Copies of this chain bind each other. A is one copy, B any other.
Amino acid sequence: MIKASTCFPIPKHDHFSKFKATHEAFSTTIQSVQCNKGALMTENQEVFKETLFQFEDYVVEKAKRVNEALDEAVPLRHPLKIHEAMRYSLLAGGKRVRPMLCIASCELVGGEESVALPMACAIEMIHTMSLIHDDLPCMDDDDYRRGKLTNHKAFGEEIAVLAGDALLSLAFEHVAARTAGVSPERVVRAVAEMGAAVGSDGLVAGQVVDIASEGQEVDLRELEYIHVHKTAKLLEAAVVCGAIMGGGETVDVDRMRRYARCVGLLFQVVDDILDVTKSSEELGKTAGKDLKTNKATYPRLMGIEKAREFADRLVAQAKGELSHFDSSKAAPLLGLADYIANRQN
């Protein structure tokens, strides 16, 4: 299992160097959250510092909780190989952005972390399934993921297909069997939401259109379709299902859905920008791949500066959707939006 404290990479353009030595990991994120609070930052550095510490603690604690829960959700048992394969990819040290969005959303509407934890794990299982299947030779044919051999390279293609299938079905089973303290009506709503995010109107649709667009001229509308489906739909499900589990009112769930749509697209725009501005070493995966494969990306279609401006607008819009909530309660989701905007890999 990864160390929770290494989940988030260190941003390079940290303006708050006084906190850098001890709180590097989340300082860019925090900085942006604080910027929204205006006076707080300049008038009372102690309060700022304290809030900063709390936010870092929040993220570290959630990552740890999610990693422990994922570890427990897939114990090693007979047949060993499939469970080893499932655990290999599930516990390979992802950033856990999706589970955190899920838990933070639940808490924002007043729910306890525990009611969203099975859903948070389920979302990460689905995300892992999509990575395992996307890496297959018949898809992106990748040999490495998160600095390790891809699942099919480590266990064989047949096991990789089955590990993905097992993680996908476990996601639904886990939510249905393990969620406690939530009305069954809300669990059913969340299951429908999850399913829609993965299927042929969600993740799969994005992947199919992405594959079909290879070697084709793709315009901005098509690019947005691919990104919204391949990436944003699952982030949206994470947020919306978290809010449903937390007992959120429809009007709040809708607000958070809009936040999630912005953040989901933002996630992919930033990915595109990083691909052309960072080295493979910095990214932990092959950089410049999109450029080499002549893939449509935001920087390619609108230029790097316009892509950055688009990312800025998305993060502002995402935060705007949360303006209705108390800003201290919304701090984790605001912080996660900033983290996604400013991440360096």
Q: A223 → chain B, closest Cβ, in Å? A: 15
Question: Within A70-93, which residues are at the interface with B (CB < 8 Å)?
Answer: 74, 78-79, 81-83, 86
Cβ of A182 to closest chain B Cβ, rounded Å:
10
Is A194 close to B, CB under 8 A?
yes
Separation of A133 and B200 alpha carbons in the complex (Å): 16
Are B165 and A194 neighbours in the complex by a CB distance under 8 Å?
no
**24 A–B contacts from the bound complex (CB under 8 Å):** A79-B200, A83-B200, A86-B200, A129-B165, A133-B162, A136-B161, A139-B161, A159-B208, A159-B211, A162-B207, A165-B204, A169-B195, A169-B198, A169-B202, A170-B200, A172-B172, A173-B192, A173-B194, A173-B196, A175-B191, A177-B195, A177-B196, A184-B185, A184-B188
Give the number of chain A interface residues (Cβ < 8 Å): 54
A199 at the interface (CB under 8 A from B): yes
Say yes or no for A308: interface residue by CB 8 A criterion: no
Partner among B165, B196, B199, B203 whose Cβ is within 8 Å of the Cβ of A198: B165
Query: Chain B residues near A205 (CB, 8 Å)?
Result: 78-79, 82
In whole Å, how far is A53's beta carbon from the nearest beta carbon of chain B? 39
Which residues of B sit under 8 angstroms from A82, Cβ to Cβ?
200, 204-205, 208
A316 CA / B183 CA spacing, docked (Å) = 41
Which residue of chain B lies nearest to A175 when distances are taken between CB atoms in the complex? B191
For the residues of A in contact with B, the DSSP-based class is helix
CB of A168 within 8 Å of the partner chain: yes
Give chain B residues whose Cβ lies under 8 Å from the Cβ of A187.
184, 188
- Contacting residues, chain B, for A171 (C-beta < 8 A): 195
Determine if A157 is an interface residue (Cβ-Cβ < 8 Å).
Answer: yes
Give the chain B neighbours of A83 by CB distance below 8 A.
200
A161 x B184 contact (CB < 8 A): no
Q: Determine whether the beta carbon of A172 is less than 8 Å from that of B195.
A: yes
Residues in B whose Cβ lies below 8 Å from that of A159: 208, 211
Residues of B within 8 A of A86 (CB): 200
